[in-house]
Structure formats: C-alpha cells, structure tokens
Amino acid sequence: MLTDTKTLLLVDDEPANLQVLRNVLSDHYRLLFAKEGERALELARSEKPDLVLLDVMMPGMSGYEVCKTLKAGQDTRAIPVIFVTALSDADDEARGFELGAVDYITKPVNAAIVRARVKNHLSLVRMDELIETRLAVVQRLGRAAEYKDNETGLHVIRMSHFSRLIALEAGLGEAWSDTLLNAAPMHDIGKIGIPDAILQKPGKLEPDEWVIMQRHAEIGAEIIGEDGSDLLNMAREVAMNHHEKWDGSGYPKGLKGTAIPISARIVALADVFDALTSERPYKKAWPIEQATDLIREQSGKHFDPELVEAFFRCLPAILDVRQRWQEEAA
C-alpha cells in the first residue's frame, strides 16, 4: 500500500449502502466503516480520516449531529464532510452546508460522481495544506530578518495585524487584507543582505553606510522574486516600497503619493507605529500619545492622509493587538 493513500470514513446505518460505497471507492482509498454516529466520532478522533462520507438519517445520533460535533472539535473540525443521503429537499441540503459540510450527494449514488467529488475535495485539502506551508515559510523568513536586526518576532506579528486592521478599515476587503497580513512579515527580509556592522551599529550611520542600508529594500524584492502568486507578489511590492513616503522623500525610488503601492503605504504606517511604541536596546518605547501625535503630524508627508484617518478609526483594535502581543519585561 502507498504511504500517501488517503483514508475515508464511511458512515451509514444500512450495510447495503456501505457495501455500495466500498465497491466504488475501495480501489483508491483506505476505508473505515461506522454504522452509527458515536462510533463514527470515535473513529474520526482516533484515525483522523482525510474525508468523511456521512448519511443523515440514522438511529440515535443523526448525520447532522455528527457533523456538528466534528466541526466543534479542535482535532476534527478540518476534516471535510460530504453528506450522502436520500434527503433531496433544498432545505435539507442547505442545513448540511450550514453545519459545515463541503458537499451533498443524493442516493441512489452515481459511482462516477462519488469518485469525482471525493477526489476534488481531497485535492482542495491538499491545496490548503500547501498554502499553509507557504505561509509558514513566509512568516519564518520575516522573523529571521527581525532577529538579525535585534528585533523580536513579536514585532512582525504586531505590525502584520496592524496592517490588516488598517486595510479593513480602508475598505480593501477581507481577502485582500488577509493577504497583506501574510505578506507584511517579509517587509524587511532584505536586511539579511546587510552587513551586521551596519545593521547593528549603535550610533548614527555614516552617509556611505546609509546608502548600503537603503539597499535592503531592493535586496528584499530580489530575495522574494517574481513568484506569480498573489501573496508573494504583494510581499515583493511591500519589501521594495515600504520606505517610500507620501511626499516623495523616501527610498529606494522616491515614489510619491498613489504611485506607491497601497500595500506598502499601509505597512509603512503599521511598521513605524510599532517601532515607535516598542522598547529596543537603543531606545525607550514612546508613549502612545506621543507616537500618535507624530503619525498625525506626518500625514501628507510620510504617510497617506486617508490611511492615517483609517489608522485612527481602528486605533482601539490596534491597541488591543499590541496588548495581546506585548513584549515581556526584561
């Protein structure tokens, strides 16, 4: 047996129905069987199947109750559930989806349809796993840059969540804002390419050292590359442009106003606020009021005025995030 063979849990109180599904699926998957709800839950918790095919009308615990319980469990909520039932009413189908099922197949089943839908939903699970892995790599690379710069991983977490809150408040939508949340940790990845003698210098940088330091924006964009995915494309534009300023006085290209990608404008604001209000070996944390005064004063200079207004509208939520991910006292 191949080690990557997927496991399906088939749940139906009628042995004949289980036999039909066995005939349809046994050549491609490892199969587990349960004829009542409690047993199905036991197997789901112990065996962690990749997908559950679940009858609705069963004595004792119904399929709806089984699905609801699976979705409430920390260890079982991610398991996709497909209802396989004789109930064909639209309200029954809608109830199944409301409980968290991913599909609804009516009996008598068509073998080709069952195989196709099982295969499709297992592919979606695999895609989700790959996305989660990619996000984990992105976040760890972002944290690596922060550690090199004597920052902590908490800075990356805070400023990423600040960025998402500002984006949502600015009306950019949940999906776009979630992408920014996951792209923002890469903003300073280019610092990996800056010599420690410059990056960790306690005093003011000399002009030639400052030129080298500014290179981290372009280095970051080069490290991320042109992947083609929405996430890494956004991470690239953030890395390249988060030191640009609204009035055109930033670097590396001196972009001005809306020529600066909005993702980078948001990250610039979130990054500066967290840097100001965090204690570091070389400085004390600024009080919130002092930091917000500077943010307001820099509206139209360093920062996009509309994003500054969005920042202040969601400031209570930003302060909640800051409290949740606070540095431990030395």
Residues in the chain, how many? 330
CA neighbor of 83 nearest in space, from 63, 98, 68, 69: 63
Q: Is the pLDDT of residue 260 over 60?
A: yes
Q: 76-85 burial, b if ≥16 CB within 10 A, otherwise e?
A: beebbbbbbb
- Do the beta carbons of residue 117 and residue 105 sit within 8 Å? yes
Whether the Cβ atoms of residue 37 and residue 79 lie closer than 8 Å to each other: no
Distances from the Cα of 118 to the Cα of 93, 121, 199, 208, 226, angstroms: 17, 5, 52, 61, 34
pTM of the model: 0.63
pLDDT tens, position by position, 41-80: 999 999 999 999 999 999 889 999 999 999 999 889 889 9
pLDDT above 60: residue 151: no
What's the average model confidence in pLDDT over 1-24? 86
d(CA 66, CA 45): 12
pLDDT at position 49: 94
The answer to whether 70 and 44 are in contact (CB under 8 A) is yes
Where do the domains of the chain lie, and which CATH numbers do they carry?
Answer: 7-109 (3.40.50.2300), 132-324 (1.10.3210.10)
Distance separating alpha carbons of residues 248 and 237, to the nearest angstrom: 17
pLDDT at 1: 35
**Of 269, 313, 301, which is closest to residue 171 (Cα–Cα)?**
313
Q: Is the pLDDT of residue 134 over 80?
A: no
Report residue 261 CA to chain centroid gap: 21
Which range among 8-12, 160-164, 271-275, 280-284 shows the weakest confidence by mean pLDDT?
280-284
pLDDT confidence bin for 330, thresholds 50/70/90: very low
Token reading at 67: 């699905």
pLDDT classification of 327: cutoffs 50, 70, 90: low
What pLDDT score does 164 carry?
97
Output the pLDDT for position 329. 46
- Mean pLDDT (whole number) for 189-196: 86
Question: H-helix or E-strand containing 22?
Answer: helix 15-25
Average of pLDDT values for 208-222?
A: 93
Q: Which of 70-84, 122-136, 186-200, 265-279 bottoms out in mean pLDDT, i.e. has the lowest? A: 122-136
Please give the residue that has the higher pLDDT: either 280 or 161.
Answer: 161
